[in-house]
Amino acid sequence: MAENSNNNGGLYFVVGALVLAVAGFGYYYFIGSPVTHTNTHTTIIEKTVAPTVTLPDIKIEIDKK
């Protein structure tokens, strides 16, 4: 059986690397890279368009007998 040394340096290294990786990806995902945020102004242009298709009027008559 292997001896159990109480030195958990490898485990701390792996966990620390994972924490840094998740923090880095989270920062990039939520904040984004500075290159993609060069244009901070957004212009929205709306155009009203009349409907091109008119539906026919439908009448339903029900005879009660």
Domain edges within the chain: 8-38
pLDDT of residue 36: 57
3-state DSSP call for residue 38? coil
* C-alpha–C-alpha distance, residues 19 and 63, integer Å: 74
- Summarised one tens digit per residue, pLDDT across range 5-62 is 677 888 999 999 999 999 998 888 887 666 555 556 777 788 887 767 777 788 878 8
pLDDT of residue 1: 45
* C-alpha–C-alpha distance, residues 20 and 65, integer Å: 79
**pTM of the full structure:** 0.42
pLDDT of residue 23: 93
